C-alpha cells in the first residue's frame, strides 16, 4: 500500500514538473515570437497585481487600504507643432479658489494609461484642492496622445518641446500666475521633467518622484528588456530598434544630467523623492547622485512606501486604492516644498473635498 502511494505521488510530481516545463516553454516561445505582446498580455497583468500587493502592503493588512473615486478633469488638446509633433491630450484640474493660480504640469511615468494612473489623478485632485491649476498631459505614445509618425526616428521621441507647448497653453489660458509654474514628474515623467524643466525658463522649480534609473552603476543602459517595454507601454505592434529605445531612455539620464546641469549652484530648485521599498540598488543609485549635487536640492526617502507613494489603480480604472499613512506624508513634503518656492497657499477657508468614497 505504501509503495503504491509513493508511486502515485511520484507520478503526480512528474506530471507537475512536465506541466510547469510546458508552461515555461510556452511563455518563452510567446516572448520569442512577440516580445511586445508578451510584455502587454502576460507580464503586465502579473506586474499590476505584484505592485498592488507590494505598494499597499495588502498581504499584511487590507483594513488600512482606502478606496476612492476622483472627479473627471476637463479635457484639453494642445495642437502639434513641428515635424515630429503630436497633438497632446491632457486633463485639466482647476483649483477650487478663484483668480489666477499657481500652475503645475504633472508628468506621468511609463505606464500605458498615462495620465489616468491612480497616483496622477490622486495627486492632481489634491493639488487642485490646495489652490493649484494642474494640467496632466499624456506623453507622446501614452494614453490618448498618439505616437509620432516616424516611430523609428529617435528624434521623434524627444519630449522637452512638448513641455514647452504645455507651458505655452497654460500662459495662453489667462488662468494662471505666470511667475509660479512648477513641474512634477513621476518615474519616467521625472526624467522628462528634469530634461525639459531645467531648460524651460518659465518653470520655477521641479519635483522628481521616483525618477527612472534606467542605467546600472557604470551608466551603461541594459538593452535586453527596454525594447519590449518601450513598445508595449506605447502600444506599438513591434519592438522599436535598440537605437530608438536607448536614445529615448537616455534623454533623462539622471546621472549625466546631474553632472552637466545640477553640478552648479545656480540651477532652479529641485526636490527628489524616492520610496524605501523601491529596492536597495535604486536607493543607493539616487543617494550617490544626490551627494554630487550643488545648489538648491532636497532629497527625501519615504519610509514604508514604494514607487507609487502608497497609491494604486488597476489599468487606469476610476477606482483608486491608497494608504493615507503613506500618501499624506508624501503630499505634505511636496506641498511644503512648493510653498517654500513662493507658491501661494491657496487652501480655501472651507475646503471643498471632491474625493468620493
Residue that wins the pLDDT comparison between 352 and 209 = 209
The per-residue pLDDT for 125 is 97
The per-residue pLDDT for 30 is 46
The per-residue pLDDT for 22 is 53
Give which of 57, 179, 55, 207 is closest to 117, Cα–Cα.
55
Q: Residue 91: pLDDT above 80?
A: yes
**3-state SS, residue 10:** helix
Q: What is the distance in angstroms between the CA of the first residue and the CA of the last residue of the chain? A: 59
User: How many other C-beta atoms are found inside a 10 Å radius of the C-beta of residue 324?
Assistant: 12
| Side-chain-side CA neighbours of residue 124 (13 Å) | 30
d(CA 17, CA 19): 5
Across the chain, what does the average pLDDT equal?
85
Supply the pTM of this predicted model: 0.88
CATH of domain 66-340: 3.40.50.1820
The per-residue pLDDT for 188 is 93
pLDDT digits (tens, 9 = 90+) for 121-158: 999 999 999 999 999 999 999 999 999 999 999 999 99
d(CA 302, CA 277): 9
d(CA 265, CA 286): 19
Q: What is the mean pLDDT of residues 211-223?
A: 64
Domain ranges of the chain: 2-56, 66-340
Amino acid at each position: 500500500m505504501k509503495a503504491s502511494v509513493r508511486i502515485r505521488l511520484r507520478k503526480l510530481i512528474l506530471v507537475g514538473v512536465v506541466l510547469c516545463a510546458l508552461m515555461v516553454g510556452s511563455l518563452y516561445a510567446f516572448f520569442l515570437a512577440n516580445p511586445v505582446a508578451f510584455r502587454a498580455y502576460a507580464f503586465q497583468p502579473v506586474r499590476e497585481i505584484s505592485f498592488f500587493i507590494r505598494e499597499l502592503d495588502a498581504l499584511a493588512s487590507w483594513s488600512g487600504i482606502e478606496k476612492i473615486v476622483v472627479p473627471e478633469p476637463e479635457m484639453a488638446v494642445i495642437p502639434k507643432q513641428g515635424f515630429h509633433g503630436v497633438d497632446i491630450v491632457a486633463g485639466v484640474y482647476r483649483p477650487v479658489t478663484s483668480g489666477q493660480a499657481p500652475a503645475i504640469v504633472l508628468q506621468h511615468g511609463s505606464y500605458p494609461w498615462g495620465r489616468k494612473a491612480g497616483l496622477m489623478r490622486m495627486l492632481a485632485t489634491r493639488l487642485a484642492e490646495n489652490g493649484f491649476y494642474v494640467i496632466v498631459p499624456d506623453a507622446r505614445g501614452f494614453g490618448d496622445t498618439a505616437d509620432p509618425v516616424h516611430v523609428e526616428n529617435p528624434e521623434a521621441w524627444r519630449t522637452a518641446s512638448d513641455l514647452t507647448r504645455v507651458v505655452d497653453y497654460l500662459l495662453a489660458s489667462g488662468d494662471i500666475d505666470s511667475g509660479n509654474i512648477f513641474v512634477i514628474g513621476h518615474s519616467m515623467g521625472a526624467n522628462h521633467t528634469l530634461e525639459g524643466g531645467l531648460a524651460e525658463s518659465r518653470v520655477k522649480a521641479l519635483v522628481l518622484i521616483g525618477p527612472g534609473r534606467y542605467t546600472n552603476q557604470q551608466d551603461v543602459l541594459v538593452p535586453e528588456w527596454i525594447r519590449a517595454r518601450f513598445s508595449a507601454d506605447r502600444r506599438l505592434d513591434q519592438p522599436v530598434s535598440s537605437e530608438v529605445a536607448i536614445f529615448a531612455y537616455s534623454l533623462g539620464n539622471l546621472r549625466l544630467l546631474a553632472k552637466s546641469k545640477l553640478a552648479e549652484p545656480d540651477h532652479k530648485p529641485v526636490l527628489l523623492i524616492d520610496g524605501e521599498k523601491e529596492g536597495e540598488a535604486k536607493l543607493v543609485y539616487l543617494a550617490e547622485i544626490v551627494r554630487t549635487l550643488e545648489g538648491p536640492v532636497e532629497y527625501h526617502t519615504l519610509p514604508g512606501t514604494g514607487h507609487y507613494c502608497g497609491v494604486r489603480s488597476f489599468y487606469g480604472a476610476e477606482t483608486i486604492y491608497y494608504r493615507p499613512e503613506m500618501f499624506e506624508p508624501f503630499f505634505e513634503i511636496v506641498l511644503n516644498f512648493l510653498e517654500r518656492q513662493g507658491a501661494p497657499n491657496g487652501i480655501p477657508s472651507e475646503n471643498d473635498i471632491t474625493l468620493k468614497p
